[in-house]
Structure 1
């Protein structure tokens, strides 16, 4: 039984690790989503349980990654049972997202001399949740759109000037931040959806780095550098042999 639990725990860790690595290989950093979702109330940046409490730890990465991949704008997630208890119904053929619950329990054991001692045993349990966007007939509060932003985040004037001087085409809209090599433009979520101006500048700076790195803008031939580097490495190997 212990071997089975250990195997299940290792499998959960493996699946989570593989998912995060896959996102990173696609250029997606699942821990970075500094703008709020389309129907989040206020500047919420962490996924929420059905009761409004935020998720923590690796569940934040898992749910952010899944929301971005599948276009979910609601920050709220719940189990199949919780949806039913709230009067809702998960739509047919919808697939859930795996999250984990980690805790410890205390077990009393006997030592070599017959004495009793308590040992804390950690455990990890996986379960499935669904985004509000996958569930019908929930109370209206789960589908409420965010109120208009009445107190927008203030801009940093010199930062705006810097990005303007780069000449990059910066578009705003949607819920993703990316650089489009084909269209040669930077796409950003609306400014007012960011939790603060620092998050906006940090995200735009990251995308501007991709913008500056396109071949047509660099206009550099690095083939000679690569060849020289290869030849130097070969010479060093010969010297060491």
Structure 2
């Protein structure tokens, strides 16, 4: 029975692994820190289903990678069927992105020697394909609307500056690492301009302050 279940599961793992490898070969690191030597701009939101529920686990990485390589700003993804049900249609030639659904299969097995029955729970992954809304035409307007106006990534946030100034933390800038040094009692940060946006900069300071 294990051989029967192993092949499709390995296919899922291979598909996801190959998708991440392909992204890496194009220079995309979906799990990377929110700053880079290239001063990357552009805010990446957590991937969402068509109903607004967020993806989790490995799906976040694979969809981030797909969004970056495809240059999609929208965070919403849906299946081919969901797009049709919502009045849209995936454009011809568009390539979907793999996501997985994790579940367990409950099975009762009988011990041949004793005749005793025991329940066994077998984990499995099921893969399916989704498309970013920017690959779909004809959806209701709200699927294409930006959630909020994007702040200039070079603009500092006044109330955040005031908050961290009030903590009297010794925050220093330079290098390409973010860390707190207990020995020196300082927070070392990359330059503000190295972060993808102001929110990422202040979120990193907050992380190193706790």
| TM-score, normalization by structure 1 | 0.60
Structure 2 equivalent of residue 77 of structure 1 = 77
Q: Secondary structure at the match of 1:68?
A: helix
Structure 2 equivalent of residue 130 of structure 1 = 131
Q: How does 1:1-241 map to 2 (within 5 A)?
A: 3-24=3-24, 27-32=27-32, 34=34, 45-111=45-111, 112-148=113-149, 152=157, 154-155=160-161, 162=173, 189=196, 191-192=197-198, 194-195=199-200, 197-199=202-204
Is this contact kept in 2: 1:77–1:131, CA < 8 A?
Answer: yes
Structure with the larger RCO, 1 or 2 (CA within 8 Å, 6+ apart): 2
Structure 1 residues 146 and 152: alpha-carbon distance in aligned structure 2, compared to 1, 3 A threshold: farther
Structure 1 equivalent of residue 188 of structure 2 = none
Give, in angstroms, the shift of residue 31 of structure 1: 1.7
The unaligned stretches of length 5 or more in structure 1 are: 166-185, 203-241
Structure having the higher helix fraction is: 1
Is this contact kept in 1: 2:101–2:127, CA < 8 A?
Answer: yes
Q: Deviations over 1:151-184 (max 9, x none)?
A: 947346876x835x9xxxxxxxxxxxxxxxxxxx
Give, in angstroms, the shift of residue 15 of structure 1: 3.0
Structure 1 residues 200 and 95: alpha-carbon distance in aligned structure 2, compared to 1, 3 A threshold: farther
Structure with higher Rg: it is: 1
Is this contact kept in 1: 2:15–2:98, CA < 8 A?
Answer: no
| TM-score, normalization by structure 2 | 0.68
Is this contact kept in 1: 2:44–2:73, CA < 8 A?
Answer: no
Give, in angstroms, the shift of residue 57 of structure 1: 0.7
The unaligned stretches of length 5 or more in structure 2 are: 36-40, 176-192
**Number of matched pairs:** 174
